[in-house]
Amino acid sequence: MTRKGKRLTLIIGALAILGLAAGLVLFALRDNIVFFYTPSELAQKQIAPGARLRIGGLVKEGSVVKNGKDVTFAVTDKTRDLAIAFTGLLPDLFREGQGVVVDGVLGADGAFKADSVLAKHDERYMPKDVADRLKAQGVWQGEKK
């Protein structure tokens, strides 16, 4: 075998080993790559209590109950709901009908004990400064109500 052939064989072997390693890592992470589960996906997966998860969806209208720093609410994907309990300060953007991602542990009773809540603004959000500039240029008219 020539020197060039040996080098080519070494490169192909290294790429094969690297590809195998990447495949094994992706196989091991297959369910952990998901950023969050919706309540319907969580019901389908039947995940064991005590597992650390992220749940995403909309805060169900009329479900928020505040008692001091203790807050309970339901996250919905319009198909299923999941009860969430949280203790602490909620983000300013948290409100009913708004998208949230909660991080915590699923309890044995099916309730979710969250230790962090991330509120998402809607996709139509526009910072005031940018909106004002775009309105001045006549590019953006804002929402019609």
* Per-residue confidence in pLDDT tens, the chain, 145 aa: 888 999 999 999 999 999 999 999 888 877 666 678 888 888 888 788 888 888 888 899 999 999 988 999 999 888 889 999 999 999 888 888 888 899 999 888 878 999 999 987 766 666 677 667 767 767 666 665 4
pLDDT value at position 122?
A: 65
Give the type of residue at 23: G
Q: Angle at Cα 111 formed by Cα 110 and Cα 112, nearest 5°?
A: 120
Tell me, yes or no, whether 64 and 41 share the same domain.
Answer: yes
- Between CA 89 and CA 141 the distance in angstroms is 35
Instruction: Tally Cβ neighbours within 10 Å of residue 14.
Output: 10
pLDDT value at position 29?
A: 77
pLDDT value at position 127?
A: 63
Tell me, yes or no, whether 28 and 39 share the same domain.
Answer: no
At which residue do the structure tokens 């650390």 appear? 52
The binding site for heme consists of: 121, 125
135 domain residue, yes or no: no
pLDDT value at position 46?
A: 78
- The DSSP secondary structure of 49-78, one letter per residue, reads TT-EEEEEEEEPTT--EEETTEEEEEEE-S
Tell me, yes or no, whether 58 and 70 share the same domain.
Answer: yes
Range 35-41 contact pairs with CB under 8 angstroms and sequence separation of 24 or more: 35/101, 36/101, 38/77, 38/80, 39/75, 39/76, 39/77, 39/79, 39/80, 39/81, 39/82, 40/77, 40/79, 40/80
The binding site consists of: 121, 125
- What's the start-to-end Cα distance of the chain, in Å? 76
Tell me, yes or no, whether 70 and 46 share the same domain.
Answer: yes
Q: Which domain holds residue 71?
A: 35-119
pLDDT value at position 134?
A: 66
- Between CA 82 and CA 76 the distance in angstroms is 6
pLDDT value at position 20?
A: 95
pLDDT value at position 109?
A: 83
Number of domains in the chain: 2
